[in-house]
Amino acid sequence: MSIFFTLTLLLFLYINIYRKTVKGSHRMMEFRSTLSVLIASLVLVYCFAEERQIYLVLMEESSNEDHLLQNTLKSYTKLQSFKHIMNGFAVHTTPSEAAKLRQANGVKLVERDRGVRKMTTYTPKFLGVPSKSRVCSKKTKTSPDGEGIVVGFVDSGIDPTHPSFGFDDGYEDLRLFCEKGRFFPLSSCNGKIVGARFFSAGARAVAKLNSSVDFLSPFDAEGHGSHVASIAAGNGGVPVYVNGFFYGFASGMAPRARIAVYKAVYPTMSTLTDVVSAIDQAVIDGVDILALSVGPNEPPEEGLTFLSIYDIAILSATRAGILVVQAVGNNGPAPATVVSYSPWAVGVAASGTDRVYPASLLLGNGQKVGGVGLSGPTFFLHKLVLAKDAMKQNGTIPSEECQYPEAFDPNLVQNSIVLCSFSQGFLNGTSSLTAIIHTATTLRFIGFALIANPNYGDFIAEPIPFRLPGILIPNASDSQAILKYYEANTCKDANGMVSEFKGKAAIGEGRVASFGSQAPTVSRFSSRGPDYMNMNRTVADVLKPDILAPGHQIWAAWSPLSVTEPLLKGYQFALMSGTSMAAPHIVGIAALIKQKNPSWTPSMIASAMSTTATKYDMNGDLIQAEGFDIHRLYPSTPFDLGAGLVKPTNALDPGLVFPAEYEDYINFLCSLPGDPAVIKNTTGGQCNASEPQPHPADLNLPSVTISSLVGHQVLHRRVKNVGTKVETYVWSVIPPNGTTININPPWFTIAPGGLQNLEIQIKVTQKMNHFTFGEIVFTGSLNHIGRIPLSVLAVSVS
């Protein structure tokens, strides 16, 4: 419609222009007459010609499609007949003709084909990564893409045959090292994968490894390591197919970065010994960035969290100039559950995006119930059977959760949509979707629906690819509506046995993404702050998480062996959730920053991402967080999302950064309670006993966290101008409730490469029983804007 009116407007404008140049002439009269006829024709064509579309039609079993079309429609093109699992067809015709089909005898359902939108991994677009950095065909000089940056991944290995890790002729060959082994010949290190090692001494010492899955090579038998690596540094433009369906194109954040693999996680056993050995080797190898989507899931039993072997290994990597990025853990939404503790590493929380995969179950009465499931539709209505009503007579094996094919009367469930119940077995971990798929395939279900059991309440469902039509319906009230319809359409005899199944249902398309939901939101599973110093959860003066990145429903590479996820066996891609998926987003963005600014230290890169992050969602509202109540959101705090959602484009040019060096981290450790000798023994650093120790919150971080503020505290920060021009900055403050804050100097002018010391005076005006939050914002004369979050527990005014 807009094209038509635009064309018409242009034509009339051209008439007026032409009239002014040849006013009164015979040529003008002829021209206007011709154009008037043309425009009138356009109006007639537009008003009376309908646009043809594709419709899917479901017919009664006895109906003949050709006879139906010939006797109902005047203008159509039959595209496809469906004869195996349904009686129907696809037809290309006009809306008015389709309306005739809906009224025709023998037609059960007519549905417009909504089309399929080509999708990508999507998070590069969602985060605003410059588009040229998402393409990995030839090197470009205009946008950073990670070229030349080596990222180390300590994880479950990598599948070198995956297209996300293929070598491109445009790469400079930077192969460094390669250990061969099962499924991993030396040729696996191909220029994209520049190094690969595996570490298994710890695992072999404490467990008997299974040679069929615990491969002593860098090969990834699970999928997790491949997934993480491809999010950060996978090639661009890799097509994503699962079960024959095209989901779009996958791309890493830094598609031309190189990958160094350090396998330290095995299906049977994983030890901290192997992980720390891998970190140690990565430091020797000189990677630029280290990705840790694995790590301990609890604090050390004794001593400070910051002084565990694991965290000291990370400190050593930081000292060597390697930025270390950690997943904060999947223990949310409870407070103080982060497992990334130390200020010298970047701890990443997880969020969703605005992309969802809606699915639906259509009941025979026309009611549509929403759910999730990455599967194709049944297209047509089929017999609906409740699993417990299809149990073999006199059978003893339970059937309601659809776990055992032998529990069913095959004649009752074949060619039916079966309702399985999310009951006790799923709660205690003895039941699985894998078993449902096996049952459904064995007994030839048309499809299945796993519905919430009202006696157990709602459950959390994630979209999972199914090889046959399937849907998860996690809402108990929706389940009750389904069961009400089912019972009203099911006949039972005096013994309570079903004599006739009259209910019908159809499973809708679940693989087409929808956009526009509130985003981002902090994911429920993402571990929360505050950070803590020991097993007793003594709160630390360090902000964790540091930053937020997408980690919910992320498409990325997968290992077809998938030995720990049977549902994903055979797939090259998987849609996964976890802070393991969030961390590599930050890794890849850090690679872009490192490429553009090769001299920047780890703390400078971390600061650039932190100060430019946003606490607002796509609608301009404060980012919300999921909690224990699965139907509600609540306003997020820095303990949910750190500084906020990463903004890659802004992080490439932050204006100011907060640099911190190894000595600063040692001073931080010395400021904590404990024996200075322990610090010396673990780090080699020396505490200066002759001088008063600084407050722990004096560490030069792009955040301020005070776990116990009594009266007032003066803190110090130091900023560096990483811009190319002289710039003047002014500070503004939103103080946490119960405090006042002054900053000196209130404004300053700083040259490129210059340093400026700042003094932050925080005073308690009212005792608070909980942390309160605020922020400091710096605004530059050249439009650089940054923020540092404030988290303060005001204990007393004096």
564-565-571 Cα angle (round to 5): 120
User: Identity (one letter) of the amino acid at 770?
Assistant: H
Identify any residues that bridge with 734 across adjacent strands, giving them in sequence order: 775
Q: Give CA–CA dist 532/249, Å, rounded.
A: 40
The residue annotated as part of the active site, out of 580, 610, 703, 791, is 580
The residue annotated as part of the active site, out of 133, 145, 155, 552, is 155
User: Identity (one letter) of the amino acid at 619?
Assistant: N
Q: Give CA–CA dist 511/376, Å, rounded.
A: 7
Nearest to 418 by CA among 393, 397, 439, 435: 439
The residue annotated as part of the active site, out of 162, 224, 382, 552, is 224
User: Identity (one letter) of the amino acid at 314?
Assistant: I
Q: Which two tokens stand for residue 757?
A: 């010391």
Q: Which residues of 499-519 are buried (b: 16+ CB within 10 A; e: fewer)?
A: eebebbbbbbbbbbbeeeeeb
Q: Which two tokens stand for residue 250?
A: 């996958």
Q: Give CA–CA dist 744/613, Å, rounded.
A: 24
Q: Are strands 355-356 and 514-515 parallel, antiparallel or unpaired?
A: antiparallel
Can 25 be counted among the known catalytic residues?
no
Q: Give CA–CA dist 375/575, Å, rounded.
A: 13
Q: Give CA–CA dist 488/600, Å, rounded.
A: 69
CB–CB of 536/301 below 8 Å?
no
Nearest to 610 by CA among 526, 528, 547: 547
For residue 258, with 0-12 CB atoms within 10 Å meaning exposed, 13-18 middle and 19 or more buried, which class applies?
A: buried
Can 438 be counted among the known catalytic residues?
no
Nearest to 327 by CA among 114, 578, 153, 82: 578
CB–CB of 611/787 below 8 Å?
yes
Q: Give CA–CA dist 126/132, Å, rounded.
A: 15
377-371-348 Cα angle (round to 5): 115
Mutual orientation of helices 2-21 and 26-48 as an angle, nearest 10°? 170
Can 224 be counted among the known catalytic residues?
yes
Which residues are catalytically annotated? 155, 224, 580
